[in-house]
């Protein structure tokens, strides 16, 4: 069987690559014909799969959520989709947490060889795919504006420091969103459309695999409050004032904005725009875990 190992050597903390050869050894010992490609630039995983027409049985990703997003976008455009393997080595690794993958490459490889297939939903945002979250608003650009060297040296702390520095830039966003034929207008701080249980390192749902294959999005929209950032504890405001938080589930949702808004898809920047059509594709891909 043919197995492709796509490696993002710049993903996450530098010491996460130390045991990569152990994983390749496990695959070879189990009879897989292993090919290895190390990505050379942003979006190279997508471009490599796009131009490489070899029919692999399994495509394994060694990288962060952004690299996994590139691979998903490539595979969703193929008629015959190989199985996926994932070795989380990024800073946040939200997507992998839904499958309890852990971080030991050898253990993950052994689980992949057991061939336990888990189907998961894939979101579609204006024709571009995402694995677990589409987000807009306050500090949602932090994942792709944070310095890469800082992420490798500091991990999650780099995101926190970057986010603190952006607080003075936060402003309200006027939105209109339509769900099940009904349109709502709000002035908001940020919005999330996600599947799974974790976003940006925060556990938003009860940890359950049912959230990744039920054909439904979780939606979280937080209203803008003028004195929001004057408070000593932002989370306390949210907890004590549930009227500012809107949570619901849906198969699709559309957004309209008065001006172009930047979105992030799985932590990667999406093209700014004033409209977003988001739908879910139930059990679109399968992960070995």
Mean pLDDT by 10 residues, the chain (289 residues): 94 68 96 97 95 94 94 95 93 83 94 97 97 84 48 41 47 93 93 84 64 92 70 51 82 96 90 95 97
Query: 144 and 167 share a domain?
Result: yes
Q: What is the pLDDT of residue 211?
A: 82
Length of the chain: 289
Domain count for the chain: 2
Give the residue from 121, 150, 180 where a domain finishes.
Answer: 121
> Is the residue at 287 inside a domain?
no
Q: CB–CB of 75/281 below 8 Å?
A: no
The CA angle 212-57-278, to the nearest 5 degrees, is 30
Q: Cβ contacts of residue 118 below 8 Å, gap of 6+?
A: 99, 209, 212, 213, 286, 287, 288, 289
DSSP letter (8 states) at residue 215: S
Residue 201 lies in a domain: yes
Same domain assignment for residues 145 and 69: no
256: CB partners within 8 A, 6+ apart: 175, 176, 177, 274, 275
Residue 83: other Cβ atoms inside 10 A:
20
Q: At CA 208, angle to CA 131 and CA 252, rounded to 5? A: 45
pTM of the model: 0.85
Out of 104, 121, 138, a domain closes at 121
* The pLDDT value given to residue 171: 80
Domain for residue 231, yes or no? yes
Closest residue by Cα to residue 177 from 256, 252, 249? 256
**155 lies in which domain range?**
128-282
Domain finish residue from 83, 98, 121:
121
Considering the domain architecture, whether residues 96 and 42 belong to the same structural domain is answered as yes
Domain assignment of residue 11, yes or no? yes
Residue among 76, 237, 92, 69 at smallest CA distance from 156: 92
Are both 225 and 153 inside the same structural domain? yes
The pLDDT of residue 154 is: 37
Dihedral of CA atoms 129, 132, 147, 101 in degrees, nearest 10, equals -120
- The reply to whether 151 and 275 lie within a common domain is yes
């Amino acid at each position: 069987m043919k197995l492709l190992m796509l490696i993002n050597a710049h993903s996450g903390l530098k010491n996460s690559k130390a045991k990569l050869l152990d994983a390749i050894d496990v695959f070879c010992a189990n009879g897989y014909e292993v090919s290895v490609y190390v990505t050379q630039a942003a979006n190279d995983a997508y471009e490599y799969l796009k131009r490489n027409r070899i029919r692999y049985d399994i495509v394994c990703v060694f990288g962060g959520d952004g690299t996994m997003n590139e691979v998903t976008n490539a595979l969703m455009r193929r008629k015959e989709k190989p199985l996926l393997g994932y070795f989380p080595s990024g800073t946040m690794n939200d997507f992998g947490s839904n499958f309890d993958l852990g971080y030991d490459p050898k253990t993950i490889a052994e689980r992949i060889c057991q061939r336990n297939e888990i189907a998961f939903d894939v979101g579609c945002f204006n024709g571009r795919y995402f694995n677990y979250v589409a987000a807009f608003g306050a500090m949602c650009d932090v994942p792709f504006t944070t310095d890469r060297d800082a992420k490798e040296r500091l991990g999650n702390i780099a995101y926190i420091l970057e986010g603190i520095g952006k607080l003075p830039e936060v402003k309200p966003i006027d939105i209109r969103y339509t769900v099940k034929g009904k349109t709502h207008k709000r002035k908001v701080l940020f919005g999330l459309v996600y599947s799974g249980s974790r976003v940006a390192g925060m556990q938003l749902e009860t940890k359950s695999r049912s959230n990744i294959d039920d054909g439904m999005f979780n939606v979280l929209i937080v209203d803008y409050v003028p004195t929001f950032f004057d408070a000593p504890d932002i989370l306390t405001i949210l907890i004590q004032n549930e009227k500012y938080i809107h949570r619901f589930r849906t198969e699709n949702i559309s957004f309209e904005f008065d001006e172009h808004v930047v979105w992030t898809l799985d932590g990667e920047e999406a093209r700014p725009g004033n409209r977003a059509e988001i739908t879910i594709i139930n059990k679109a891909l399968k992960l070995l875990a």
